[in-house]
Amino acid sequence: MSIDVRKTYKLYVNGAFPRSESGRTYPVNNSRGRLVANAVLGSRKDLRDAVIAARAAQNGWAKRSAYNRAQILYRVAEVMQGRREQFITELRHGVSAAAAEREVDATIDRWVWYAGWADKFAQITGASNPVDGPYFNFTVPEPVGVVGVVCPDDAPLLAFVSRVAPCIVSGNTCVVLASERWPLASVTLGEALATSDVPGGVVNILTGRRAEIVPWMAGHADIDTIDLTGCAGDRALVVTAEQAAAASVSRVVHATPREAQWANESSQSPYTIGSFVEYKTVWHPKGP
Amino acid sequence: MLGGLVTHAGEALGNEQMVDDRDEPVAHLPVGSITVMAALVARSNPPDWVRAFAAGAVRIPAVDAVGLEARAAALTGRSIKKASKIAALRLAIECMDLTTLEGTDTPGKVRAMCAKAVQPDPRDASIPSVAAVCVYPELVAIAKHSLQGSGVKVASVAGAFPSGLGPLPTRLDEIRRAIDAGADEIDIVLNRSAFLAGDLARAFDDIAASKLACGAAHLKVILEAGELGTYDNVRRASMLAMAAGGDFIKTSTGKIGVNATPPFALLMSEAIRDHFEQTGVKVGLKLAGGIRTAKQSWQYLVIVNETLGPDWLTPHLFRLGASSLLNDVLMQLRMQATGLYQRPDDFTVD
């Protein structure tokens, strides 16, 4: 006889798995309406703590060599592969076994795909520019800093990775609000991140109500860019978030319709990495 | 004779060597009479008590370390909300000694800091000025000039800060020069070398002589609690510094690893309270070193309020020595005003 040890789904902040500061949870049901687990109902202070962790980790993550970031991200894919069955089980609450399997495999593929771009995307998005004058003029991408990512409900794990991997590969750190309807696999992804040399604070995962957390996230002045992909179905929330982001001069990005075809391989692109970078142009004097 | 005090202490400790050590510096002291020294400190204590204290004959009760730390932890765990938080943050600014004590301090840096001391947030004129700026003696004149008419005081460290182990006449001279340059307050360090060797009389005399050199200026005595080893020593040093004439006792220089901590703040508050109950004299408390967040600042305000009462929550009796704390407090005040979390980049660089 064995005892069924069930998992408490918690947050992933600063490399640890805390419960909400507020102590709140909400029920996660499967597609037939049966309770599967309780997830954390994140609060404003959880968001605050996550942003502090992301800010503290950002410089160190960006300072690592691009090659080293690629190695670490590849390692994440390895650990995800080892947890493949668990991801499938968690996605099965919402979709068929075959669909869950397809999604997990596509997720791991996508993670590896973006890992490889770490030391290559700058060749695509950067440039050397012809200018009239004795200057060598070139443009290089640099991470924007701390990014808030709001994940959608469809393809909860694949969409999460399709936005987070291109975000952190350039040296950003992020605070991710997982799918509100299907958060469980995202929390398990936190366990893969925690065991694969990704420094604590680089990815911080919150779960909870989008309508509650997104306005706080958009208004937080220490978040440099907010990805509102997960708000696509809620026009009023997008407007609120865009206004709040404008007040603190944060950039707002959304997945393009092409990017949002999550399962389609053509939705992945090095230009998605470009959504999360700033471009620096240098005028370097040279001989006449 | 001041020597008389020391001789008395030396006999009490059975240490003749100590008497010889004292002979030379004593000759340079501005006063040479135990009566003058005792009269100075007699604002609070009768000369007999001072003499007995300096000789180590006054019993200082032992500190319950576990109880102290538990109470400090309980007091710092309180939740302060809304209007109380805003009031606490504004009070923290009013009680702040904005400090720069680096070998790299330039006149320009001190001028910039003084401008910030007068008007901490250029976007919000309702934010009060800080209590004082704290600089090295060499930069006092510049600070004084920059702060003219603002009401912000100039504090200077002096007396061979941060070790306090220069020759006594040089240390006293440094104090006088800082005051001549315009310092309103002087921060000296306890002679830990003498104190830890058991030579309380010498540690006492150094402070008393410094107080005389200060004249009307306020004297803050830095105990460097992190170097004293035990809570008992911190309490003993607090009583000694207050008896010897310190107007403030201060936790730390900020130059070592262990700085102000909640237990030190609580212990020193209790010592000040005991001293007040015995003598009726209110000595101030300055906490310094390692205080970087707004949250820490209101935790310390709670400790002081609960131990010494609201009378001490004024710049005359309470100070927070800090450099980076001010920006965090400003950030939290704006967060309270707007409801939105702020970023450090939007506040002036120190």
**Which one of B79, B81, B340, B342 makes the best mutation probe of the A interface by having the most chain A beta carbons within 10 Å?**
B340
A132-158 pLDDT per residue, tens: 999 999 999 999 999 999 999 999 999
State the pLDDT at residue B325.
95
User: What is the rounded CA–CA span in Å between residue A22 and residue A26?
Assistant: 12
- Per the prediction, chain A carries an average pLDDT of 96
Q: Which residues of B121-139 are buried (b: 16+ CB within 10 A; e: fewer)?
A: beeeeebebbbbbbbbbeb
Question: Is B85 one of the annotated active-site residues of the chain?
Answer: no
- Burial class (CB within 10 angstroms; exposed 0-12, middle 13-18, buried 19+) of B16: exposed
pLDDT reported for residue B16: 35
Task: Output DSSP code: residue A232.
Answer: T
Q: If we measure between CA atoms, which residue out of B136, B69, B145 comes closest to residue B114?
A: B145
Q: Which residues of A touch B346 (CB under 8 A)?
A: 221
Contact B281, B275 (CB under 8 A): yes
Q: Please state which of the four CATH numbers 3.40.50.720, 3.20.20.70, 3.30.70.260, 1.10.10.10 is assigned to the domain occupying B65-346.
A: 3.20.20.70
| Mean pLDDT within B131-135 | 97
Which residues in chain B are contacts of A220 at CB distance < 8 A? 340-341
Q: Which amino acid is at B162?
A: P
Whether residue B30 contacts residue B213, with contact meaning beta carbons closer than 8 Å, is answered with: yes
What's the CATH superfamily of A35-285?
Answer: Aldehyde Dehydrogenase; Chain A, domain 1 (3.40.605.10)
Which run of H or of E encompasses B176? helix B168-180
Identify each DSSP E strand in chain A by its residue range: 25-29, 35-40, 127-129, 135-143, 146-150, 173-177, 203-206, 225-227, 251-253, 277-285
> Residue B260 corresponds to which tokens in the numbers above?
């102000």
Quick one: pLDDT at residue B45? 54
| Domain boundaries along the sequence of chain B | 2-54, 65-346
Q: How confident is the model at residue B47 (pLDDT cuts 50, 70, 90)?
A: low
Average pLDDT score over residue span B180-195 = 96
Q: Give yes or no for a cis peptide into B162 (omega within 30° of 0).
A: yes
Q: How far apart are CA B161 and CA A210, in angstroms?
A: 55
The answer to whether B52 and B41 are in contact (CB under 8 A) is: no
pLDDT in tens, B91-119: 999 999 999 999 999 999 999 999 999 99
Q: How do residues B228-253 score in pLDDT, each as one tens digit?
A: 999 999 999 999 999 888 999 999 99
CA–CA separation, A80 and B146 (whole Å): 61
Q: Which residues of chain A have a CB within 8 Å of the CB of B344?
A: 222
Q: pLDDT for A203-238, tens place per residue?
A: 999 999 999 999 999 999 999 999 999 999 899 999
pLDDT of B54 = 64
**How many CB atoms lie under 10 A from the CB of residue B24?**
11
Contacts of B40 (CB under 8 A, 6+ apart): B208, B211, B212, B245
- Tell me which range, B8-17, B183-192, B275-284, is most confidently predicted by mean pLDDT: B183-192
Instruction: Name the helix (H) or strand (E) containing A98.
Output: helix A97-116
Identify the pLDDT of residue B24.
36
Name which of B327, B332, B329, B318 is nearest B347 in CA terms. Answer: B327
Query: Which portions of chain A are predicted below pLDDT 70?
Result: none
The residue type found at B16 is E
Q: Is the per-residue pLDDT at B55 higher than 70?
A: no
Chain A contacts to B (CB-CB under 8 A)? 48, 51, 216, 219-222, 244, 247-248
* Whether residue B34 has pLDDT greater than 50: no
Q: Which tens digits make up the pLDDT trace of B318-349?
A: 999 999 999 999 999 999 999 899 998 888 87
Residue B9 has pLDDT above 60, yes or no: no
Structure tokens at B220: 């803050």
CB contact under 8 A, A51 and B341: yes
Q: Are B207 and B54 in contact (CB under 8 A)?
A: no
Residue in B263, B306, B308, B319 with CA at minimum distance from that of residue B282: B308
